Structure 1
Amino acid sequence: MLLPTLVTYLAGCAFLLSPVGEGCGPGRGYGKRRSPRKLAPLAYKQFSPNVAEKTLGASGRYEGKITRNSERFKELTPNYNPDIIFKDEEKTGADRMMTQRCKDKLNSLAISVMNLWPGIRLRVTEGWDEDGHHSEESLHYEGRAVDITTSDRDRNKYAMLARLAVEAGFDWVYYESKAHVHCSVKSEHSVAAKTGGCFPGGAFVTLKNGTRKSIRDLQLGEQVLASSGSDGGGELVYSQVLAFLDRDPSSWKLFYTIRTVAGASLSLTAAHLLFVSEGSCSEGAVPTLGTMRTVYASDTKPGQCVLVTEGKAGQRHGEGRLSRVTQVSVRGDRGAYAPLTHQGTVVVDGVVASCYAAVNQHALAHWAFSPLRLMHRWTGHTGSRANGLHWYSQFLHWLGRLLLDSQHFHPWGMAQALR
């Protein structure tokens, strides 16, 4: 009876089930057709995101030219998608060679082009460059960049083509020339491309007996300090660990470290949700109802306030108190863990955080995971496995890709889900 009940529940709320299941890292309509979201074309010479191409927030650093004789040539794969025209003026097939990430985004873009302009196909004028035709350290040399047009070469379409490329998940898009749009992606093995929503293994939680324990050693069924409030506020309680949405001891991740006036220091990946104050806040104050909201860790700024607690053994925890963020830095570390508690919140290294990532609303994410909490209540387990992405998270990834657009998702988190 459990599976049919869960399926019925999910079918009834399909619009809201999204890639929030991506513990580390998340289509189109179901039922009533939603009105399409209006897309704004890129302006000539505009690039998105608004940072340099080879920076962390875009496609990342240049890693070296790939040649047919190099070991890294195995990183490239040919793209034989019949819905894409490859110019291939060298007659070597080089324009078809690209990283898997670039291939995935290009194939997704090809569908968008045909949907928007029936009878028109995507055209690639430049792909992998093995002949040195581009500037020094161009990502074309790594198969991570493509120059594109439409098959009819109608330049009036290129501004919207650039926008479609952004929506398809390219990590950097530049309306570079009146004759083409330039797109690029992160490296397959870069820490930026593997960013999702987790805590490092060395982070600490507080158990019910008052002792502290590293997340890497945390076990299902243990009770950890969490917040009872849907916005991170409210009474601090002990909440049972129901599952790990992701547990990956070996992967290398990029973590944002949030430091506060109170001395708290929390590290979490870019797409993870963190509770911050709305407007001004007083150091050490208890937040009032409705003054907290969730933001992605990568969007946290100095001057905002987060909820902290000392979390020492033998003390009554009471409520989280506000502490102002003084610094946000970025570092790499190995191992990533995303515990899910019954409350949907967890206190890690003395800071109250959400258990969720990728989608920008904690309440929506917590609601989407209610079937998993129900399953635990009925059966006493959630079907967790030792390591890797939880099956329910994988299901939400799949469903979100079918049903939803990327409007409310973290760009890196959504990119991870679509890899």
Structure 2
Amino acid sequence: MVSLCICFPGGTFVTTRHGVKQLDELLQGEEVLTLTKQSQKWTQFYTWGHIQRDLIAEFVQVKVKGGKELQISEEHLLFVEGKNGKRVAKNAGRVVIGDKLYYFDEDSQCTELLAVEEIGKVQAKGVYAPFTMNGDFLANRFAVSCYANVSNCKVAHAALSPLRTWYKVRPEKEDLLSKEGIHSYAEKLMKFRELITTSPFARKVVTNK
């Protein structure tokens, strides 16, 4: 069975060149804000990895100091402070109280590390998994990856390289307003991964470790 990339509810906020928008208002080709290791930058939103506007789904809700919060699916990657102060990706379902998340304060234009104070589960409407050229973005001003159901952002981003190239060179744009479901390219990658990990050879390698 192929697992779904649920990711974020439609009410999640992103910062665009034209101001703050909800994910369910985002238009193809818009630039959204993200964070590099040193500062912030703009990256283009080019398509949905998964979108189902009316689906009610369960999300992990993480809250930090000041009541700031993020709703995100448990298998989705967000960025936390790791050992030696390095930024690392972590599945939202594995986040624990005390983990420090990267948060961009647009008033001060500074990146802050905010400790998680509360973790819960909520249900919300809409399933939105945006793909950006940089492979990440700011969701409710928290630094998050575009990818889920993986353990390595760099590998996932490399696997999407042909798709990004396709969107760069094609002259016409998709009709994202009528799009629903998982992107066909992402779905094929998920099926290929499942085929590899469940093959007799893969099981033999695991058994022999």
Q: What's the secondary structure of 1:200's corresponding residue?
A: coil
Matches within 5 A, 1:313-352: 317=109, 320-352=111-143
Count of residues in correspondence between the two structures = 196
Q: Mind listing any 5+ residue stretches in structure 1 that lack a counterpart?
A: 1-18, 26-195, 281-287, 407-419
In 2, the alpha carbon distance for the partners of 1:405 and 1:305 equals 35
Matches within 5 A, 1:204-215: 204-209=13-18, 211-215=19-23
Deviation, structure 1 residue 268: 0.4
Partner of 2:100: 305
Partner of 2:87: 292
In 2, the alpha carbon distance for the partners of 1:222 and 1:366 equals 19
Please report the TM-score for the alignment, with normalisation by the length of structure 2: 0.85
Aligned partners of 1:197 and 1:356 also within 8 Å: no
Distance 1:322 1:384, change over 3 A: farther
Q: What's the secondary structure of 1:367's corresponding residue?
A: helix
Structure holding more strand per residue: 2
Letter in 2 for 1:292: R
Distance 1:383 1:352, change over 3 A: same
Aligned partners of 2:62 and 2:118 also within 8 Å: yes
Aligned partners of 1:255 and 1:268 also within 8 Å: yes
Pick from 45, 49, 52 the counterpart of residue 241 of structure 1. Answer: 45
Determine if the alignment matches structure 1 residue 200 to structure 2 residue 25.
no
Matches within 5 A, 1:374-389: 374-380=165-171, 385=176, 386-389=179-182
Deviation, structure 1 residue 264: 2.3
Determine if the alignment matches structure 1 residue 258 to structure 2 residue 62.
yes
Please report the TM-score for the alignment, with normalisation by the length of structure 1: 0.44
Aligned partners of 1:239 and 1:343 also within 8 Å: yes
Deviation, structure 1 residue 200: 0.6
Deviation, structure 1 residue 352: 0.6
In 1, the alpha carbon distance for the partners of 2:67 and 2:56 equals 26
Determine if the alignment matches structure 1 residue 399 to structure 2 residue 192.
yes
Deviation, structure 1 residue 404: 2.5
Q: Cα RMSD between the aligned structures?
A: 2.2
In 1, the alpha carbon distance for the partners of 2:163 and 2:170 equals 10
Aligned partners of 1:242 and 1:381 also within 8 Å: no
Give the percent of matched residue pairs that are identical in Structure 1 and Structure 2: 26
Matches within 5 A, 1:95-134: none
Letter in 2 for 1:201: G
Deviation, structure 1 residue 405: 4.7
Rg: which structure is higher? 1
Letter in 1 for 2:21: K
Determine if the alignment matches structure 1 residue 356 to structure 2 residue 160.
no
Higher RCO structure (Cα 8 Å, ≥6 apart): 2
Q: What's the secondary structure of 2:105's corresponding residue?
A: coil
- 1:289-332 C-alpha deviation (Å, 9 max, x unpaired): xx1211111110110101001235xx6x45x3211111111111
- 1:26-69 C-alpha deviation (Å, 9 max, x unpaired): xxxxxxxxxxxxxxxxxxxxxxxxxxxxxxxxxxxxxxxxxxxx
Q: Which runs of 4+ in 1 moved over 3 A?
A: 380-385
Letter in 2 for 1:358: N
